[in-house]
Amino acid sequence: MSYEDTRPDALDRPRPRSLADLFLSFSWLALQGFGGVLAVAQRELVEKKRWLTREEFTEEWAVAQIMPGPNVINMAIMLGGRHFGWRGGVAALAGMLSAPLLITLCLAVVYGQLSQYPAVAGALRGMGAVSAGLITATGIKLIPGLRKNVLGPVVCISLGLAALLAVAWLRLPLVWVLLVLGGIGMGLAYRRLSP
Amino acid sequence: MSPLLMSAADWLQLVLHFATLSLLGIGGAITTLPDMHRYLVDRQLWLSDAQFNASVALAQAAPGPNILFVALMGWHVGLNAGGGWLALMGAIITLAGILLPSSIIAYSGGQWSHRNRELRAVRAFKAGLAPTVIGLLIATGTVLATASGSTLDQWPVWLIAAVSTLIVWRTKVHILWLLGTGALIGAFFLA
C-alpha cells in the first residue's frame, strides 16, 4: 500500500471484544442517551472506550449522516459491521434498541396517566433544554479534530459556519445544505488530496 | 374514540409507508416527520394530533435513539385499534419498517467505505463533509433549544441549554446528573 497510515495507533487501539461486548456497550450507551444518543456516543466511543478517534468519529458520522435512516443507528451498524460482519451490525442495532424500546413503551403507559400534571411537562422541557446543550457541546468538542483536515482552517470554518447559519437561522432543508456545502467541501478536498 | 378498524392490509400499508420513508430520511428520520403527520393524522385518520405530538415528545424524554417515536406512533395506532397486543405489535412492526431498509444500506455502505477508505474519492468525501457536519450538529442543538419558541420569555430554557453546553464541553460530569438537574429545574420553574 503506497499510502501512509495517518493513524499509527490503529493496531493496538481498544476494540469491541465480542458480540456481547458490542450489544452491552451500545445498550449502555443508548440508556444514557436522553433526547438523543449522539452526545453520549461521542463520549463513550471516543473518550471512554476509545474505539474511535475524534477524527474517525467525525468521518463516520459524516458517512452515517449522508445515508438514509437515523444517524446514530447507522453509525452503530457500521461500527458493529466493521468488527464482526453482519452479526456485529445486528448486535449493535439490537443493543441500541431493545432496552430503550421497553422503557419508552413503559413511559408511554405512565404518561397516559400523568400527562395532566404541569410539573411533568415542565420536567420534560427542562430535560429537553439539557439535551439541546448536549448536542451543541458535542459539535464544539469535535472542532479540534478538523486541525488535520486537508481543507485547512479557513475553508473548514467557512463551511461549518455556513452550515450552522443555513440550518439554525435560515432553516433551509438539511438535504440541500448537505448537498451544496458538503459538495463544495468534497470537491475542494478531492483537488487537494494528491492522487 | 371508538375502536379503529385496522385490517391486515391496513397494517401492511402502514409498514410499507414507513419502509418508504426509511429510504427518504436522509439526515435522520426526523426530517420525514411532516410526511408522517400528513399520512397518519390527516389522510388515514389513524392517529389524533395529540397522540402524534405525544409520540414525538415521549421519545425525546426517554433514553435511546429518537427514532423510537416511530414505535410510539405504531403503539398509538394499535391502541386506537383495540389496544393490548395490537399496540405492542404496532410498535414493533412500524419500527422494523422504518429501520430495515435504511439499516441494510448503512451496513453495505459502511462496509464498502471502510474497505475503500484509502481511495481518493472516499477520503475526499469524508474530509470534505466533516466541517459541514460539525456546523450541522451545533445548529441542531440551537434549533432544539429554541423549539418551544424564540421569544424572550423563553430565556430559562436557553440558559439551561447554554449552561449544559459549557458543562459538557469543559467537564466530565456524567450526562445523567445533568438531565436529572434539568428535570428538577424544569418541574419547579418551567411548569
pLDDT in tens, A37-46: 888 898 899 9
Amino acid at A81: G
Give the contacts of A3 (CB within 8 A, at least 6 positions apart).
B118
Give the contacts of B83 (CB within 8 A, at least 6 positions apart).
none
Condensed to tens digits (0 to 9), the pLDDT of residues A18-64 reads 999 999 999 999 998 876 688 889 889 998 999 999 988 988 888 88
Sketch the domain layout of chain B as residue ranges. 8-110, 146-189
ipTM over 0.85 threshold? no
Looking at chain A, the whole-number percentage of residues with pLDDT higher than 90 is 46
Segment 67-126 of chain B within 8 Å of chain A by CB: 67-68, 71-72, 75-76, 88, 91, 95, 99, 101-103, 105-107, 109-111, 113-114, 118, 120-121, 123-126
* Alpha-carbon dihedral B29, B101, B17, A167, rounded to 10 degrees: 20
Grid cell 433526547 — which residue? A35
Average pLDDT rounded to a whole number, residues B162-176: 88
pLDDT of residue B149: 66
Q: Could you tell me if A101 lies within 8 Å of chain B, comparing CB atoms? A: yes
Condensed to tens digits (0 to 9), the pLDDT of residues A94-127 reads 999 999 999 999 988 887 777 678 888 788 778 7
The span from the CA of B47 to the CA of B37, in Å, is 9
The span from the CA of A162 to the CA of A138, in Å, is 18
Sign of CA dihedral B125, B131, B137, B139: negative
Is there a contact between A31 and B63 (Cβ–Cβ < 8 Å)?
yes
Closest Cα in chain A, distance from residue B112 (Å): 10
Sketch the domain layout of chain A as residue ranges. 11-142, 149-195
Grid cell 400527562 — which residue? A115
The span from the CA of A89 to the CA of A83, in Å, is 9
pLDDT of residue A5: 42
pLDDT of residue B28: 65
Total-model pTM? 0.77
The span from the CA of A123 to the CA of A121, in Å, is 5
pLDDT category at A8 given cuts 50, 70, 90 is very low
pLDDT of residue B72: 93
Candidate from A73, A105, A165 with C-beta closest to B103: A73
